[in-house]
Structure 1
Amino acid sequence: MSTIASQVKNRIDSFQVGKVIAYSDFEDISNTQAVALFLSRLVKAGTLKRIGKGKYYVPEETKFGSIGPSESAILESIMKETGGYITGPSVYNALGLTTQVANRITVVGNKFPRKAQLGKIKVRYVQAKFPIIKEDVYLLQLLDAIKDIRTIMDTTIDDSIDKIKAKIRKLDENQISKIIDYATKYYRPYVRATLGAIMDEFKNPKASLLKETLTPLTVFKIGFSDEVLPKKKDWNFV
């Protein structure tokens, strides 16, 4: 066995069962072509199984058959690879906005837009238009939920925005400043107006920062009721 093959094999042996193995796990080995070739040989030998392009795992054999990596392990690998974050229906379910169970996840990251499948998980990659800071992912997910408020399944617009309001109410002042900054720089006017109406209801003076970014004559037709968004008329929602 060559030196590179030995390095790869020893590295794989050190991994926990269920870990998703990617080329990035061997980036300290200079000959990437040799690494890829040896991984392919391990697949042919049955030592590894491939779950997607450049993604492998060591199968765990049980009396019920071979077990692959968990969904969380696959998602962890995707996040590491893309430097991004998960958005869309799967996140809206986790946030309690919908009971819909998504069979596809959307990842915002540094990969070019494309679709892929890793194991049983269908992945849609969306290229980020802004730098992604890990500690701010929750804020971006809340803004994405506002952006998609009309298309979140198995719920109503009012119910969704009411739950989003409850989560925004719990943000600290630093997070409030950040979510306003993200909304101002990277999100469409109706998202900024929705966030502004929420901040206005909470009597947060920083709502004015969002108001300054909006054109006074622009009217928004989203479908919020007066009960769930009392300040909606002040932010040109009809």
Structure 2
Amino acid sequence: MTISSKIENKVKKLPIGTTFTYQTLAVKSDEYAATAKTLERLIKKGMLKRASTGVFYKPKQTVFGELKPKEEELLKNYLFENDKRIAYITGLSLYNRLGLTTQVPKVIKIASRDKRIFASIGNIKGKPVKSYIDVSDKNYYILEILDALKDFKQIPDMNKRSGVLLLANEMKKWNEKDKNLLVKFALKYPPRVRAILGAIIENFGVTNETKPLKESLNPLSQYEYKITEDILPNAKNWNII
């Protein structure tokens, strides 16, 4: 089998809408030239698209036209290092995906503990923010919810009642291990996050583990979220105003 045929067969087996690189295709050093020509041929045929230099994807065709991969997929090479997750998308882009806002940011925030990640893929631009916890595939979705609570006051055009309910319902889906990690990770976040998380957990019966959150808060401090008691009946118990 020729190198061209081998590469084309590998490409055909890849899922539509996912990005890939030369490394994904396990290309040997002496096969790069032939592989590059094969990929260029497939691009001209419309079977492939180039997301950025050295990053490709198989476009998904719908009745509404061609769909590009999701942001998470396009930024995959920035979010992972040696197949290990080191970052996640946060900020308005995340809150839009969660259904908390309809606004779409011009620049995507990429959170990582140890790396400052700048990204540029076509019209997509990414800038770094520092995560509160080391990021992994086993915890990034927990950090997403904590980030939403951290920025709750600043999320544009969000209905607070719907926002609280949406986040509470997301937490309730998790197993007890994840719920315990949620409380543990929250202790690394600002006090206001621990207060609103404690109130949501307690009010919606997410878990019984609210004691560490309560003990971590200054009983004389108040946390301004402008959340009324009809949204969180126990808001005053957590000094939320």
Is the Cα contact below 8 Å between 1:98 and 1:152 reproduced in 2? yes
TM value normalised by structure 1: 0.71
The one of 85, 100, 118 aligned to 2:103: 100
- Shift of the alpha carbon at 1:19? 5.0
- State the alpha-carbon separation in 2 of the partners of residues 170 and 205 from structure 1: 15
Is the Cα contact below 8 Å between 1:26 and 1:35 reproduced in 2? no
Partner of 1:25: 24
- Shift of the alpha carbon at 1:191? 0.6
Partner of 1:194: 196
Aligned to 2:94, the other structure's residue is in SS state helix
Partner of 2:121: 118
1:75-129 alpha-carbon deviations (Å, 9 max, x no partner): 3253354223222223322322222344543332467324432123232343444
- State the alpha-carbon separation in 2 of the partners of residues 96 and 59 from structure 1: 25
Q: Which runs of 5+ in 1 are unaligned?
A: 1-5, 61-66
Equivalent residue letter for 1:71: P
The one of 161, 164, 182 aligned to 1:161: 164
1:186-225 alpha-carbon deviations (Å, 9 max, x no partner): 3111111111111222454311111122222222112111
1:123-158 alpha-carbon deviations (Å, 9 max, x no partner): 234344423232433322211111111121222334
- Shift of the alpha carbon at 1:172? 3.5
> Compared with structure 1, are the counterparts of its residues 28 and 97 closer, same or farther at alpha carbon in structure 2 (3 Å cutoff)?
same
Partner of 2:55: 55
Moved over 6 A (4+): 6-9, 46-49
- State the alpha-carbon separation in 1 of the partners of residues 155 and 5 from structure 2: 45
Percent identity over the alignment is: 29
The one of 182, 204, 208 aligned to 1:205: 208
TM value normalised by structure 2: 0.70
The Cα RMSD (Å) is 3.9
- State the alpha-carbon separation in 1 of the partners of residues 5 and 108 from structure 2: 32
The one of 129, 134, 148 aligned to 1:131: 134
> Compared with structure 1, are the counterparts of its residues 218 and 11 closer, same or farther at alpha carbon in structure 2 (3 Å cutoff)?
farther
Is the Cα contact below 8 Å between 2:78 and 2:119 reproduced in 1? no
The one of 123, 128, 143 aligned to 2:146: 143
Partner of 1:63: none
Aligned to 1:134, the other structure's residue is in SS state coil
- Shift of the alpha carbon at 1:168? 2.8
- Match status 1:217 vs 2:213: no
* Range moving further from structure 2, 103-112 or 131-140: 103-112
